[in-house]
A = this chain, B = another copy of it.
């Protein structure tokens, strides 16, 4: 693909980022669903909970991590609770807060699905990216993400002493 001007080169990169995202989320979602009947959104929630201290997160924080609206997340957690993968707990220190917590079944589902997903990412993404390219991408996109993240104040996690700034993790496709 020809990229004449410096500006054109960057636009082309943006265009490809959009295409790559769309294709991969589609493929990875299909594979996950076929192998484990697990929607990519659910997997994303499970991963974020697994990474959280106590395997639990407040609805607000989880919504940010999954990049869904607050009410959207309420409904998603409803479904996952009905499926037994997640349970609700009331926050001890602040009775307004609700925690979504991983159940044993949820942990099991994640443990079963993770290899499939990892293999998918390796096969459909990592295999086509050199180490240098990965480094360049990471450097650039870190700046992009930082610049675009001028919105929400991060709230403290519930049960803990205030020592842990919740890790904002990547999440799978949420389109507007």
Residues of A within 8 A of B (CB): 1, 3, 6-7, 9-27, 29-30, 33, 39-41, 67, 121-122, 124-145, 147-149, 168-176
CA separation between A13 and B87, bound complex, in Å? 32
Contact B148 A27 (CB under 8 A): yes
Give, as a whole number of angstroms, the nearest-CB distance from A133 to chain B. Answer: 4
Give, as a whole number of angstroms, the nearest-CB distance from A149 to chain B. Answer: 6
Of the A-B pairs whose beta carbons lie under 8 Å apart in the complex, a sample of 5, sorted by A's number, is A6-B131, A6-B134, A7-B122, A13-B137, A18-B21
CA separation between A176 and B3, bound complex, in Å? 31
Contact B21 A135 (CB under 8 A): no
* Chain B residues with CB under 8 A of A138: 1, 3, 9, 12-13, 16
With A27-B148, A176-B25 in contact, is A19–B170 under 8 Å at CB? Answer: yes
Closest B residue to A21 using CB positions: B21
Give, as a whole number of angstroms, the nearest-CB distance from A134 to chain B. Answer: 4
Contact B172 A126 (CB under 8 A): no
With A10-B134, A18-B171, A136-B133 in contact, is A124–B141 under 8 Å at CB? Answer: no
Give, as a whole number of angstroms, the nearest-CB distance from A77 to chain B. Answer: 18
CA separation between A124 and B24, bound complex, in Å? 23
> Of the candidates B3, B16, B29, which one forms a contact with A145 in the assembled complex, judged by CB atoms under 8 Å apart?
B16
Give, as a whole number of angstroms, the nearest-CB distance from A159 to chain B. Answer: 26
Q: Which 4 A-B pairs have the closest CB atoms?
A: A15-B170, A16-B141, A136-B136, A23-B148
CA separation between A67 and B169, bound complex, in Å? 25
CA separation between A128 and B144, bound complex, in Å? 6
CA separation between A151 and B115, bound complex, in Å? 24
